[in-house]
Structure 1
Amino acid sequence: MYVAVKGGERAIANAHALLAKQGRGDPGLPPIEPSAVAGQLGVLVSRVMAEGSLYDPELAARAILQAQGDVLEAVTLVRSYRTTLPRFGYTLPVDTAALPPQRRVSATFKDLPGGQQLGATFDYTHRLFTDRPTAGPRAGAAAGPAPAMPRVTDLLGASALVEPDRAPGAGDPEPADLTREPSVFPLSRAERLQALARADEGFLLGLGYSTQRGFGSTHPFAGEIRVGEVEVELDAPELGFAVPLGRVEVTECQMINQFQGNGDTPAQFTRGYGLAFGRGERKAMAMSLVDRALRAGEFGERVVAPAQDEEFVISHSDNVQATGFVEHLKLPHYVDFQAELGLVRRLQAEFHARAAAEAATPDPAGADEIRALAEAGT
């Protein structure tokens, strides 16, 4: 608790009251309900869920309101709440290959099997303020079964044009849990992807952008971006079968990257992968760029850029840790500062004493003339 401020606990209580008053806004207007935030600010809610590591749109909306729109504070609230929840078991891996997309785009094939599906996107809107749109009637679903939509990477994999999704004979090892076990470098790819899924979107975006500008070996094509709902099933050993828990909305991105090959591997495309809760295309794309950059060592590429440095990326990508470390500077550091202040004063006194002693000592013959010639540049 910040008790060093004038007034102690009373000052803190007053600060909390003032914060609540400012957060309420104009009392003549109705308060914003969490359901309105979850329904109308879906992209923001998705980011808070992804970086907070908890899929619950209502809780994420409540956190956004309590944080007065501060995304990082909302993420901190969600993560803090998450630590209080019991763990009942583990879900099975979700099958994103069978994901029925609300949106599916690819920059690699014009005539994609199953077709492109634009869905809801800002990509083709004019960046101008408009009147708030009114939702019109929704078109009915097309008759007949949905078309098959094989992954682009599966199409390329059938011709051995892209690396396998896992190394031959590697199996499917149990991934570590970064929320319960400390990170030890070097990390497995599964651990890196966990960290990137929780990472700050802006940080990943900057790193991903840097790889495209040459600070890394990422020269990608957007193989496929899908947004849709997948079913989550709980592994229940005592029942002998999986129990469906419900559906969650996710965004998946698979980047396809150039690789020239080497003496052991023929030329082929390589993969970068990103997955985020809700509608988070920018996060998933940035994540896939950084994922590929961090795989430089697997392909014998030189590690020369920040985005390729695993320890740098993972250690600085968590916005909750970054926020805490930066904002702790607001807390009292009186003792540390007084120590630094005393040191600077002592060093200054020594400097001035030495300068005075040098001025009082007569220069040897010719020293003044030499100094004057040096200052004149001759």
Structure 2
Amino acid sequence: MYVAVKGGDAAISNAHRLLADRRRGDRSVPALHIDQIVEQLALGVDRVMAEGSLYDRELAALAIAQSRGDLIEAVFLVRAYRTTLPRFGYTNPIDTGAMLVERRVSATYKDLPGGQLLGPTFDYTHRLLDPGIAAGSPVDEPEQREAEEGRMPRVSEILAHEGLIEGDGDMPQDHVTGDLTREPLDFPIERDLRLQALARGDEGFLLALGYSTQRGYGRNHPFVGEVRIGEVELELDVPELPFAVPLGRIRVTECQMVTQFKGSAKVPPQFTRGYGLVFGQSERKAMSMSLCDRALRAREFGEDVVAPAQDEEFVISHSDNVQATGFVEHLKLPHYVDFQAELDLIRRMRAEHDARENRFERQEAAE
């Protein structure tokens, strides 16, 4: 056994060295620096921050470099590092209405107070490969426009003024906001914990579920009330001070979907909300999150739960890509004892089966 362990240790050490060598790649090519990843692979960095639930661009970029671009592995690295950090407290709820907006679009109103801002988006590109990027062609400077300051009302506030949309997520006075990173999940869960789980969930998984609701698996036919990207102020209450202390700004993406609700015996016809909020510029993730959030509120509105996206346990238990990766990839690890036990079982069952077949054949021959 000692020889086997030593041999395994040597193999693992060699694998680590080989991984480091492959990560560096051809030595004639300049090494990739963390600041290059932060600046030029920003959307990948934002995804790792969002699903790793840690807002730190340099650490996310380091994780991307260390994982050779495997974003799920990078998320795993960030979450593992996150567990070593002290927790000083909880910031106050951010006010996205006062966001320093860089991008803001709505599919429901053409003319909005504050206007629509395209910002940096792939929406109107032709999806053609640009050889100029490979050649290092210079990039034209865009016309500079200052981000919009001051309060910019949300589309939901316009609908709320007419009483045509549900309230903005009011919770009971005695409700204590949960913390997914400190408390084990116990279904059913409140919406605050659901939103935390969705914010950390795998973008591809939530995208597929959101798409399924649009194809009829969940009766969800929404409009994008608004998507906005920009910077928000973080503030922390300090017991020794009579005012909140500003900590700085972070970039977030917020999405509110509005979906028609025909009403019930107690609730008049109105629009309902699906909500998404994630770190960085993560528009696809925020939209997918808001679609899933609305689908998971089916029971709240007395709707039949008939689709996977409406099943809270299914969605939340399978949306975490770190947990899913662990369960799938652990199959690569040694299972020699388990397999030998099943192998012996299959051999015995096969011998019994063959014995029965031979017995039946002899009986038929005798008859």
Normalising by structure 1, report the TM-score: 0.92
TM-aligned CA deviation for residue 172 of structure 1: 7.3
Distance 1:217 1:171, change over 3 A: farther
Say whether the 8 Å CA contact 2:97–2:151 is kept in structure 1.
Answer: no
Question: Does residue 43 of the first structure (1) align with residue 38 of the second (2)?
Answer: no
Pairing 1:75-224 to 2, within 5 Å after superposition: 75-130=75-130, 131-132=132-133, 134-141=138-145, 146=149, 149-167=152-170, 170-171=172-173, 173-224=175-226
3-state DSSP of counterpart to 2:293:
helix
Residue in structure 2 matched with residue 16 of structure 1 by the alignment: 16
Query: 1:63-110: per-residue Cα shift (whole Å, max 9, x none)?
Result: 000000001100000000000000112111111111121000000011
Say whether the 8 Å CA contact 1:60–1:74 is kept in structure 2.
Answer: yes
Residue in structure 2 matched with residue 238 of structure 1 by the alignment: 240
TM-aligned CA deviation for residue 28 of structure 1: 0.9
Say whether the 8 Å CA contact 2:255–2:276 is kept in structure 1.
Answer: yes
Question: Does residue 347 of the first structure (1) align with residue 349 of the second (2)?
Answer: yes
1:149 and 1:171 map into 2 onto residues whose CA distance is 27
2:32 and 2:240 map into 1 onto residues whose CA distance is 44
Say whether the 8 Å CA contact 1:115–1:149 is kept in structure 2.
Answer: no
Distance 1:314 1:140, change over 3 A: closer
Distance 1:215 1:78, change over 3 A: same
Say whether the 8 Å CA contact 2:48–2:74 is kept in structure 1.
Answer: yes
TM-aligned CA deviation for residue 138 of structure 1: 4.4
Q: Match for 1:162: what amino acid?
A: I
Q: CA RMSD in A?
A: 1.9
Q: Match for 1:194: what amino acid?
A: Q
Residue in structure 1 matched with residue 30 of structure 2 by the alignment: 30
What is the number of residues matched between the two proteins?
A: 361
1:264 and 1:50 map into 2 onto residues whose CA distance is 38
1:197 and 1:140 map into 2 onto residues whose CA distance is 31
Distance 1:256 1:172, change over 3 A: farther
Say whether the 8 Å CA contact 1:217–1:296 is kept in structure 2.
Answer: no
Q: Which has the larger radius of gyration?
A: 1
Q: Match for 1:10: what amino acid?
A: A
Pairing 1:322-337 to 2, within 5 Å after superposition: 322-337=324-339
1:147 and 1:70 map into 2 onto residues whose CA distance is 39
Say whether the 8 Å CA contact 1:113–1:148 is kept in structure 2.
Answer: no
Distance 1:287 1:142, change over 3 A: closer
TM-aligned CA deviation for residue 149 of structure 1: 2.6
TM-aligned CA deviation for residue 121 of structure 1: 0.1
1:309 and 1:295 map into 2 onto residues whose CA distance is 9
TM-aligned CA deviation for residue 140 of structure 1: 4.2
Say whether the 8 Å CA contact 2:99–2:230 is kept in structure 1.
Answer: yes
Query: Equivalent pairs: percent with the same residue?
Result: 64
Runs (5+) with no aligned partner, structure 2: none
Which of these residues, 276, 280, 283, is aligned with residue 281 of structure 1?
Answer: 283
Query: 1:88-143: per-residue Cα shift (whole Å, max 9, x none)?
Result: 12111111111121000000011112111000000000111112263433434469
Say whether the 8 Å CA contact 2:100–2:150 is kept in structure 1.
Answer: no
Higher alpha-carbon deviation: 62-71 or 7-16: 7-16
Say whether the 8 Å CA contact 2:98–2:151 is kept in structure 1.
Answer: no
Residue in structure 1 matched with residue 55 of structure 2 by the alignment: 55
3-state DSSP of counterpart to 2:275:
strand
TM-aligned CA deviation for residue 305 of structure 1: 0.3
TM-aligned CA deviation for residue 47 of structure 1: 0.4
Residue in structure 1 matched with residue 269 of structure 2 by the alignment: 267
2:146 and 2:13 map into 1 onto residues whose CA distance is 58
Say whether the 8 Å CA contact 1:4–1:332 is kept in structure 2.
Answer: no
Say whether the 8 Å CA contact 1:216–1:293 is kept in structure 2.
Answer: yes
1:75 and 1:165 map into 2 onto residues whose CA distance is 31
Runs (5+) with no aligned partner, structure 1: 366-378
TM-aligned CA deviation for residue 205 of structure 1: 0.3
Q: Match for 1:164: what amino acid?
A: G
TM-aligned CA deviation for residue 363 of structure 1: 6.7
Normalising by structure 2, report the TM-score: 0.94
TM-aligned CA deviation for residue 6 of structure 1: 8.6
Say whether the 8 Å CA contact 1:297–1:303 is kept in structure 2.
Answer: yes
Residue in structure 2 matched with residue 308 of structure 1 by the alignment: 310
Pairing 1:251-262 to 2, within 5 Å after superposition: 251-262=253-264
TM-aligned CA deviation for residue 237 of structure 1: 1.1
3-state DSSP of counterpart to 1:165:
coil
Say whether the 8 Å CA contact 2:98–2:149 is kept in structure 1.
Answer: no
Distance 1:234 1:148, change over 3 A: closer
Distance 1:113 1:4, change over 3 A: farther
Distance 1:330 1:154, change over 3 A: same
2:331 and 2:141 map into 1 onto residues whose CA distance is 52
